[in-house]
Amino acid sequence: MKKMMDLVVTQNEQLNQNYSLIKLTTTDKAPLTEMHPGQFVEVRVDGSPSTYLRRPISVNFVDKQKNELWLLVQAVGDGTKKMCEYKQGDIVNLLLPLGNTFTVPTSNPEQELLLIGGGVGTAPMLFLGSRLKEAGFKPKFLLGARSKNDLLQLDDFRKYGELYCTTEDGSFGEKGYVTDHSVLKNTQISQIYTCGPKPMMVAVAKYANMNKIDCEVSLENLMACGFGVCLCCVEKTREGNVCVCTEGPVFNIENLTWIN
């Protein structure tokens, strides 16, 4: 059940010049609302005169021991830039949790699960990977970026599975795009999960379809309200147009029109 609530910032870690990792907890020490991989929150950005609507941010991780919600925020506009300025002790109003979730397999822990993230789309892959490991799986992560400076939270990802990387300039991992990485050629993959720029996700979806691999994608359409009113996030599917914020953000590629 979604709630509107105030959380307090416990830490704001500047990962590089464009990204901040913001950690929040409840103001009264009560347990956080239950959240699942793939879901997102809507953040009210106070103090930004040009930001009228909430900003959708993927759930990056939930640290149950510390009762913390992690949000990976890329500073791309006035709203997210203001968020990246949050300080310890700041109070932030959120609507959470929103959206559906990735599918966690219920059998055969030996199957190969590949989690592919690009840019800020790596955010939900960390939480998903942690849950998959809890369920007895050994996920593999494939992260893509322009250069090594854009690859984030690598040590956190390594806690939950094998890590592979690509960079467009070849500064870290294999040079090229995620769909060029050798792990796709050397591993019998059973399931792919992906989030990132749409061209990347379309390429991954086409690869998965061609190789008959089940694939779920988390769309990053603009979701201004979070509950299907503003119609900013409409996506065309095989069953018609749907709001990503209520019917997604996670979709099986078989339900999208990206592939023939």
pLDDT the model gives residue 260:
67
Q: Which of 69, 37, 250 is nearest to 133 (CA)?
A: 37
Q: Is the pLDDT of residue 241 over 90?
A: yes
Length of the chain: 260
Contact yes or no for 18/83 (Cβ under 8 A): no
- The pTM of this model reads 0.96
Q: Is the pLDDT of residue 12 over 70?
A: yes
The predicted-structure confidence for 44-88, as pLDDT tens digits, reads as follows: 999 877 777 889 999 999 999 999 999 999 999 999 999 999 999
3-class secondary structure, 150: helix
What residue type is 194 in one-letter code? T
Is residue 230 annotated as involved in ligand binding? yes
Rounded to an integer, what is the distance from CA 13 to the centroid of its chain?
18
pLDDT the model gives residue 49:
79
The predicted-structure confidence for 211-233, as pLDDT tens digits, reads as follows: 999 999 999 998 988 888 888 89
The predicted-structure confidence for 126-136, as pLDDT tens digits, reads as follows: 999 999 999 99
For 191-202, what is the mean pLDDT? 97
Is residue 54 annotated as involved in ligand binding? no
Q: Which of 119, 1, 106 is nearest to 58 (CA)?
A: 119
Is residue 183 annotated as involved in ligand binding? no
Is residue 179 annotated as involved in ligand binding? no
Is residue 124 annotated as involved in ligand binding? no
Contact yes or no for 116/144 (Cβ under 8 A): yes
Is residue 245 annotated as involved in ligand binding? yes
- What kind of architecture, by CATH, is found in domain 3-98? Beta Barrel (2.40)
- Residues of the chain within CATH 2.40.30.10 domain(s) are 3-98
Q: Is the pLDDT of residue 6 over 70?
A: yes
Is residue 84 annotated as involved in ligand binding? no
Residue % of the chain over a pLDDT of 90: 87
Instruction: Find the largest Cα–Cα distance for the chain.
Output: 52
CATH topology of domain 113-218: Rossmann fold (3.40.50)
Strands 191-195 and 113-118: parallel
Within a 10 A sphere around the Cβ of 182, how many other Cβ atoms?
A: 10
The token duo for 82 is 């203001």
Is residue 104 annotated as involved in ligand binding? no
- Residues of the chain within CATH 3.40.50.80 domain(s) are 113-218
